[in-house]
Structure formats: C-alpha cells, structure tokens
Structure 1
Amino acid sequence: MTLLSATDAILVIIDFQARLMPAIHDGARLVANARRLVDAAGLLAVPVLMTEQNPAGLGGTVPELAGAGPVIAKMSFDSCAEPAFLEALAGDMQLVICGCEAHVCVGQTVLSLLEHRRRVAVVQDAVGSRAAESKEVAIARMARHGAEIVTTEMVVFEWLRTAAHPQFRAAAKLIR
C-alpha cells in the first residue's frame, strides 16, 4: 500500500465501547481522533464499519462515535471470525483501522485481515490499550506483519491529496 485513497477506503472502528473506554490509556484523546476520522470519512464519502465486542457485557459504542456506521456485534476477539464482518468488507478496499484494544481485538483482527491478504493501515493515535506497553508491542507486531502504521492527520491529508480539494477547508479544521 502506498498513499491512502478516499475513493478506495473503508474506515473500520473496533470496539470503542462505553464500559471499556474508562480503562483505556489516553482514552479521551483516542476517541477524539476516531471522531476526526469519522468526520473526515463523512466529508469524503468513505464508508464506516463498526464492531462491538460482547455488547451485553461492555455496552454499546461511546456516544461520540455511535451511529457513525453499521455495527457488527461479536464475541470473538478477531472480528474476522464473524462472517458478517468479512462480508461487509468484500472487495479490495484499503482498510483504515482504529479501536481498542490494540493487543487484543485490534491486533487479532489486523493480523487476520493480513492473512486474508487485505491492505491494512492502523491509525496509531486512534488505537488504544489499557497499558501503553501493550499498545506499543501490538503496533510493532502489526507493522512487522505488513500493516501500515499511520496517524489521524496522515489519513485525513492523504484522503484529501490536495489543498484544492473541495472539502479541504472543512477537513483541515478537523485537525486543528
């Protein structure tokens, strides 16, 4: 994968859930960055897919992100174990991944997507774990296996490609 493309991407939001987020290191910043990604996706017509891990136990998606896209409930840590998840990602789109926890659900999902030969970009500043060390090790592992590691700002500006884009001003405001 080289540059990300808004015409060739799906934003995948993994398990940003109400009962989980208070335990996530730097959780408020991660949710804010995920919201920036959702808003940029909306401006640039990038589809959004969301998951919720055991929603009966961990609650629904945090209010800041609720309703951003269709939600697939799951019990497996690896979202790919849920047939509806892979069906929703049919085709050869770039998968831009954010969510929690980096070393469990995000990590297992990303590694599985890579095994399925999917193009995956993990948004480092919109992925979290309870412990910073767990996130750090997970990011390194995903990168070793072929995931691109990017930031929220990289995603937004690569989706835009040019300051001449009709949505440039609106998207740039999301970053500032």
Structure 2
Amino acid sequence: MFKKENMVFVLVDVQGKLARIVHDSEDLIENLRKLISCLRILNVPIIWLEQYPEGLGPTVEEVAEQLEGLAPIPKMTFSACKTEAFMDELRAMKRQKVLIAGIETHICVYQTAADLKELNYDVQVVEDAVSSRTLVNKELGLEKMKALGILGTSVEMVVYELLESADAKEFKRILRIIK
C-alpha cells in the first residue's frame, strides 16, 4: 500500500493551451487541484514537471497555485526519467512508491511511468487526474500502463488510502476539499 511516508507524487506537464484542450480538461484540472491540495496537507513530497515551458507555457494557474514554494523541473524528454534533474530529485527522496498524474496520458505520463517501473519503482497512475487530447489516447495510455503492471487509482481512493482512518488529524481538512 501507498503511505504518506513512503511515496512521492509526480505531476506531469499540465501546461498552457494543451491543458485546456485535453479530454475533460475542467475535470482534470479540478481533480489535480484537489489531489495536490490533499497531498500538501499530508506532507507528501511532490516533483513538478514542465515539458518545454518556453513553447508550451507554464503550468495552468489553478494547479500552479497549489504548488506554492515548489519549482518545476523543465524537461525536453517525454520520459522524465531521461532528465537528470528529475532523477536526481527522485533518488534524493529515497522513496520507492510513485504516484503519477498529468498529461498527456499516452506520451509523457506513460513513458515516465514505464521507465519508473523498469527502474523498480512501484508506480500507480491517478486515472481521474490524467488526460490526453483524445479519449482514445488516454485509454490506450492507461491500457499500456496496466499491461506493465502499473495499477490505476483515483483521487479519492489514494487520498483515503493515505489517510487510513477517519480519526486522522488531517481528515476534516481533507474532507472539505474532496466533497
């Protein structure tokens, strides 16, 4: 199981116009906002990625405002694992469980998750917090990840998994965000 003490969250490329045109973009952005807000309350480390920010633009404001105090790692590679700064930060955290979300499911999310799995990380993808320009490509990306043994989860499922109990000190704050 994922626990707040043993995992890291990787946010992949929720940027600019692309983030606004992916399938169900409003739901994606809202789910990411909720997820990141809950993870911050639970003190789960976050690695924030941006693909070619000079071309694609910055992370959308609704998501970026949840990441105050953090800085994005720029990358040109589709798999973040091929970007040295990402791998350095991930290794420094000494956590083997990686939760991943963002866009596009079938490109950067898939390639990063697949490479992390190859590197013996335990990876889960937040299925209601990933998207692609088309639903078909989102579904293909999720299907290929599952074929590699990368399990799916949802925002609510992972947040409650991390909370473990309704008497957790963070429960009431998180409940206000999730509902």
Counterpart for residue 140 of structure 1 = 143
Counterpart for residue 105 of structure 2 = 102
Which of 8, 20, 26 is the matching residue for 2:18? 20
Counterpart for residue 174 of structure 1 = 177
Contact 1:100 1:106 in 2 (8 A): yes
Which of 40, 50, 54 is the matching residue for 2:38? 40
Residue 76 of structure 2 corresponds to residue 75 of structure 1: yes
Contact 1:103 1:137 in 2 (8 A): yes
Counterpart for residue 62 of structure 2 = 64
Counterpart for residue 134 of structure 2 = 131
Per the TM alignment, residue 23 of structure 1 is displaced from its structure 2 partner at its CA by 1.7
Deviations 1:16-75 (A, max 9, x none): 001211220101111111111111111111111111111111001111121513311011
SS at match of 2:101: strand
**Runs of at least 4 residues of structure 1 off by over 3 A?**
none
Which of 49, 52, 56 is the matching residue for 1:51? 49
Counterpart for residue 31 of structure 1 = 29
Contact 1:48 1:70 in 2 (8 A): no
Deviations 1:72-115 (A, max 9, x none): 10111111110111111112331110100000010111111111
Per the TM alignment, residue 173 of structure 1 is displaced from its structure 2 partner at its CA by 1.6
Per the TM alignment, residue 146 of structure 1 is displaced from its structure 2 partner at its CA by 1.5
Paired AA for residue 89 in structure 1: L
Contact 2:114 2:145 in 1 (8 A): yes
CA distance in 2, matches of 1:70, 1:7: 22
Counterpart for residue 6 of structure 1 = 4
Where does the alignment leave 5 or more consecutive residues of structure 2 unmatched?
none
Q: Compute the TM-score of the two structures, normalised by the length of structure 1.
A: 0.95
Q: Compute the TM-score of the two structures, normalised by the length of structure 2.
A: 0.94
Counterpart for residue 87 of structure 1 = 88
Where does the alignment leave 5 or more consecutive residues of structure 1 unmatched?
none
CA distance in 2, matches of 1:62, 1:22: 8
Per the TM alignment, residue 9 of structure 1 is displaced from its structure 2 partner at its CA by 1.4
Greater fraction helix: 2
When the two chains are superposed, the root-mean-square deviation of aligned CA atoms in Å is 1.0
Size of the aligned set, in residue pairs, is 174
Paired AA for residue 14 in structure 2: F
